[in-house]
Structures are given as C-alpha cells and as structure tokens.
Amino acid sequence: MLGLGLLYRLYERRLLREVRGGVMPRHIGLILDGNRRYARELGFSDLLEGHRRGADRLERVLDWLEELEIRIITIYVLSTENLSRPPEELQALLGLIEARMRSVATDPKIHAKGVRVRAVGQLDLLPRSVQDAIRAAEEATAAYGSFFLNIAVGYGGRQEIAHAVQALLLDRSRRGMSLEGAAADVTPEAIGKYLYTYDLPDPDLIIRTSGEFRLSGFLLWQSAYSEFYFCDAYWPAFRKIDLLRAVRAYQQRKRRFGT
C-alpha cells in the first residue's frame, strides 16, 4: 500500500496542476487564526509557541504563493481588540512581532524575492520599540516592487474606515472647502484613496484558518467583493494543499462584483 506521505504528495501535485490551469487571485488576504488553540491541543505550556510556529509557517506559505505567482499578500497579525489581552500575554506577543520585524530587515530571502513589507493599522498604539522595528523593515524593503507583504498589526477595519473619512475631510478643510462641500466629496471612490492599502488592488480571496466563519474586522471596506474560504486547520498546521484548495475554490466561483 502507498504510504500517507506519498499519497499526500501525489494529491498535492494534482491540485497544483489544476490550479495552474486557472486564473490566479492577484491579492490574497490571510487571517492567521488558531495559534493559541494549536498550542493548547499540543500541550505546550507556553502558548506563545503557537505564535512562533505560526510565524515559521508564514515563511513557507510565502514560498508557496510565490510558486503560484501570487505576489500581493495581506496578513492579519494583531487586531486592535487583541491589544486588550492580559499584559503578560500581550507583551510576549508584541516581543515576537518586534523580533520578526527586525529579522525581516536583514532576511536574505526577503531581499532575494524583492518583498516590499508594509505594516497597516494604528501603529501609534504599539510600543515604541515595535514601531521602530516596523519602520526598519519598511525602510529596508521600500525600493522593492515585485512582491507586496502587508502586515495588519494593531488593525481594525472600522477604525480604518473612520480614519479614512477623517483624513478626507481634514484634507478638504485644508483646501478651504466648506463643510457642505467636503461632505459632498465623501464618495466611495474618494474614501478609497485614504485607506491603508489605497495603492493596491482589493483582495480577490480571503482565507481564514481555524474553522471560524467571520472576518473579525479584517479589510472590511476592501473585501466588499472578495471571495472567502474558511479552513479548519489551525494556522501553524496550514498545509500547501489547504492553500491550493482555497485557490481552486476561488477559481470555481463566478465573481459578480455585486451585479
């Protein structure tokens, strides 16, 4: 009998052939959920180990996405609600984010792939050291334009929309517009220019791991016409076949864009 490992590889190759024959999403959003539950189920005393393994998994997933020539990725790492977690847990998580962002600035793979890294969210809510690490990663990769990795940290979709409207109105006020004139200028197209990802196409496909069926505030504006795929696997256990199944499901859908 064929071993499970061989069967897995054969299935993976078949899926890969299938999806390569279809239209690829340009931009994928990933909600990296289930890190703590993964750690609990494996009996880790330190739940941060789930986040560490999740960060390691991201590196492999980026390789898979590059293989599929999908080069715009937005990942949901930390929501504004997550900032209210117990201080000890939050401090450890922020420390991991800081360490990973610092490593990005000098990571040979990041530079070899030409990955432009950008953080989106209320970065002013983060500790100064985390902000500095983010800035270092952004500056080190600012010249790249072949692969875009957006990291949503301290992010909330409602807050992003509110900030975009505020920025639009303040901009119009600086131009000397009346309140009525500024209000008349509040259109979907105008608001879109003030979003964090204003210069990138909206996500075609959003994948959430861990079996949860909700967005949790992720890219609320940008996901209006996205396709969604919900995967049972916890993020640290996310496999290449899970990604390929998600892309295949996307390719099998007829996108209507509200029509």
Return the pLDDT at 79: 96
Q: In angstroms, how far is CA 178 from the centroid of its own chain?
A: 38
| Cα-based angle 153, 229, 244 (whole degrees, multiple of 5) | 100
HSE-up (13 A, CA, CB side) for residue 224 = 9
| pLDDT for 7 | 87
pLDDT of residue 4: 73
How much is the pTM?
0.94
Say if residue 73 is exposed, middle or buried (CB neighbours under 10 Å; 0-12, 13-18, 19+).
buried
Task: Report domain extents, the chain.
Answer: 24-156+203-252
Per-residue pLDDT, 33: 97
Alpha helices in 107-202 (DSSP H): 108-113, 128-141, 157-174, 179-184, 188-192
Note the residue count of the chain.
Answer: 259
The predicted pLDDT at position 257 comes to: 76
Name the stretches of the chain with pLDDT < 50: 1
Under CATH, what is the fold of the domain 24-156+203-252? Answer: Undecaprenyl pyrophosphate synthetase (3.40.1180)
Which pLDDT belongs to residue 2? 57
Per-residue confidence (pLDDT) for residue 6, from 0 to 100: 85
DSSP, residue by residue, 15-61 = HHHHHHTSPPPSEEEEE---HHHHHHHTT-S-THHHHHHHHHHHHHH
Active site residues: 33, 82
**DSSP state, 85?**
S
